[in-house]
Amino acid sequence: MELSQQLVSSPAISGPNQAKSWQSPVIEHDLKDSILTHRKAFDSSLNTLMSNDQEESQIQKARAILGDTVADVPDEELSVYLTEFQYLLDEWLDIYEKQLFSGKTLQQLEREG
């Protein structure tokens, strides 16, 4: 179980003296949302701090896959190509999802559900 799921599913107070107000569905739902939002922000911050390592890893993977075809391409330029390619893939997937799901992406459906 992920840490964020453990935090959300575990009450802050347990035992015989557990506060009854904790069990309010509205408060519990708001608290879950708040924890998940903060968890996402924390994960995003960590990813930003570590992005250089991830970017290097992406470049290394691309070089391993593409081989000699990118041997003369500088890392910065290859990084730009990878970013542009990822953007195109994301856009194409959004278009495909909208065709399948009545004009909505999976992310939009997830937010509604």
Distance CA 34, CA 30 (A): 6
| pLDDT above 70: residue 2 | no
**DSSP for 11-53?**
-SS-STT--GGGG-HHHHHHHHHHHHHHHHHHHHHHHHHHHHH
pLDDT tier at 20, thresholds 50, 70, 90: very low
pLDDT of residue 113: 77
pLDDT band at 31 (very low <50, low <70, confident <90, very high): low
Q: Domain residues of the chain, as ranges?
A: 1-8+23-70, 73-113
Q: What is the torsional sign of CA 100, 104, 107, 110?
A: negative
The yes-or-no verdict on residue 1 having pLDDT over 70 is no
pLDDT score, position 39: 74
Predicted pLDDT at 75: 93
